[in-house]
Structure formats: C-alpha cells, structure tokens
Amino acid sequence: MPIPTFNKESLSFIPELTNPNYWFVRTDGGLYFDSFVEGGYIAINWNSITKADILSMGGSGEAIKNKIALTEKIDNSVKQGKMQVTGILSKLVRFKELNKGDTIIIPSHNSSRLAFGVIEDNEIYNDGNDVICPYIKRRKVNWVAIKNMQDLDPVFFQIKNSRHAISDIKRHSKYIDIVTNKMFFKNGYGHLVLNVKSPGDINLQDLLGVFEDILIVAKKINEVFEFEEEIEECSIKINIQSPGPAMLKLVNGSTLAILGLILFSSCNKLPISEQKKSDVVITSCSDSLNRAHERMRRLGIE
C-alpha cells in the first residue's frame, strides 16, 4: 500500500510565529527575577491603579491620570508632573495590551542572566499572596529559556540598557526567536537552530563537514517526502561567537523541520506514515548522519 502524501498539519507542534510582539520587562533591579520565573508571571507597580481602573479606562484616561497624581503625590499642574503621570499611565496601558503569544525578556540582578518567556493569557489577573513581589497586577508567562548574558548575541547588551518598565524590542526579533525556539515557521520560512555549546575554538573542518552532511540528508528528505523545496536556496546565519547559534532558513521549510526531528531523534512526534518516510531517509543517509552526529558531538552542537 503506498504511503500517503505529507500533510503539513503533521508539523503543527512546531510553532508558527504569526507576528508576535516582543517586550523587555524590568524586575526592579533583578529583585523580582526569581519570583517572576518561579511563579510563571510578570507584574507591574502602582497597585493603587487597579485592574478595574485600567479595563474601564476610556478616552484620554483623565480620571486615572488624576488618581495616579493623587496616590503618587505628583503635581499634575506642571509640565514635568504631567509627563510623569502620562508615562506611568502609558506603562500600565502597555501592560494591559500585552497579547497571548507575545515574547517577554526579563533581566536578573546586574542583567547577568536573561529569562525568555511567552505570554499565556489575554488579560491581567490579580494576585496579592506573593510575599516577595508586592505588585498584584500580573500576566501569566511560560518561561522557555534562561541564558547567561555572555552566551548571547551582543545585541542583547543593547536590549538590557533600556530603563523603561516595559520596552518594545520587536526590532530585535530575529535575535530573540532563535533563543526561544529550536525549530519554527515565520513569514513563509522554516527555521532550524543549531546551538554550538563548545566554549573553545571551533574546528572549521568539522563545522563545514556538519553542513555538508546535513545538506545531503536535507536533499534526501526533500525527495522522499516530495516537498519540492529549493534546497540549494537554503541560507545559514552563524554567530561568530562560541558558544553561539547557527540558524538554517528555507522557504516553506518543511524539509528543515523534518531534518531537525531526524537529527535530534524526535521523529516519534510524527504520524506513523511520516515516521516511515523518515526511516527511509535515516537508512539511506546513515553514513552522513553518523558523520554529522560525531562532528556535532565534537563541536558541542545541540
């Protein structure tokens, strides 16, 4: 009996990033970093402005501005005071408007570490039971990675320098996506991230050999799964730091998704019919895969 043609729904467990937003959220000098990570949330100051206040705000928000001025003891009749009140209100509104699926980054003390997460809800919730963090207005976050600053692209030094409670960092999304996802689809491309963990110098022959071997495997995947993708158009972005990521990118990119599953022994996530096809690829490309895995081991690629 012939094996059914590939259904891309089989890869629905691989995230498709459909225009998320990206935010850098302060933690009071790192004071609440552990609370945020362990509790699975982020929170914002100004408890006197309630969830109900924010949700019911209309027009220019004058009522809330007046309440902010009163509770924060700010003179709202002078220019500097008005600017301060407006700044607080804008942060509260931005916190409310975070969307499910948005990516969040928070810094530890001295920004030596950054935690990366994804917003899990669509509205603020209240929680006043945390003995460490007193801020009760919160958003649920699924934290997916914690990275040492020294292991990240230098662009993250720019990101951490923002002094605002919440900063829009969408312009840096291409650097953030490869930290939070190993495989993903975005803007019509598939992406596969290979993380080089070796702290020392990288052997060029091993590095080139890895990509030569996985290109052989990718071509076989494209043939067996009948993707008809332009494998020769696959591009690669390598972070010259070690440790650092190498990202493969391909139009449509189903080939890269299957390649990642084969490289990291995750084909059991596929339906049986697709597993059979991946078995054909693994058998046909056993020499290339063995070489690639050995070189990846020496380079510390995960």
Beta pairing, strands 166-168 & 183-186: unpaired
Q: How confident is the model at residue 20 (pLDDT cuts 50, 70, 90)?
A: confident
Domain encompassing residue 27: 22-180
CATH code, domain with 91: 3.10.590
User: What is the rounded CA–CA span in Å between residue 233 and residue 249?
Assistant: 9
% of the chain at pLDDT higher than 90: 69
Do 171 and 287 belong to one domain?
Answer: no
Do 161 and 37 belong to one domain?
Answer: yes
b/e 21-49 (16+ beta carbons within 10 angstroms → b): bbbbbbbeebebbebbbebebbbbbbeeb
For 93-133, write each residue's pLDDT tens digit: 999 999 999 999 999 999 999 999 999 999 999 998 877 89
Q: For 4, list phi and psi in degrees, rounded to 5.
A: -60, 155
Structure tokens at 240: 């010259």
Do 156 and 218 belong to one domain?
Answer: no
Do 131 and 217 belong to one domain?
Answer: no
15 part of a folded domain? no
More confident residue, 122 or 5: 122
Q: What is the mean pLDDT of residues 129-146?
A: 92
% of the chain at pLDDT higher than 70: 95
Least confident range from 12-16, 20-24, 127-131, 178-182: namely 127-131
User: What is the rounded CA–CA span in Å between residue 212 and residue 214?
Assistant: 6
CA dihedral (8, 229, 231, 189) positive or negative: negative
- pLDDT value for 59: 64
**Does pLDDT of 4 surpass 60?**
no
Do 251 and 270 belong to one domain?
Answer: yes
For 58-92, write each residue's pLDDT tens digit: 766 888 899 989 988 998 889 999 899 999 999 99
More confident residue, 55 or 8: 55
Confidence (pTM): 0.87
CA dihedral (293, 294, 296, 297) positive or negative: positive
Least confident range from 13-22, 103-112, 140-149: namely 13-22
Name which of 238, 240, 148, 250 is nearest 194 in CA terms: 238
Last residue of a domain, one of 129, 163, 180: 180
Continuous H helices in 120-230: 155-160, 173-180, 204-224
Last residue of a domain, one of 117, 149, 180: 180
Average confidence score pLDDT of the chain: 90
Number of domains in the chain: 2
Do 28 and 143 belong to one domain?
Answer: yes
- Give the SS3 label for residue 89: helix
**Inter-axis angle of helices 286-299 and 254-263, nearest 10:** 70
Q: Evaluate whether 193 touches 246 at the Cβ level (below 8 Å).
A: yes
Angle (CA) 265 146 150, round 5°: 105
Name which of 146, 182, 175 is nearest 239 in CA terms: 175
Do 150 and 201 belong to one domain?
Answer: no
Do 212 and 260 belong to one domain?
Answer: yes
Do 219 and 105 belong to one domain?
Answer: no
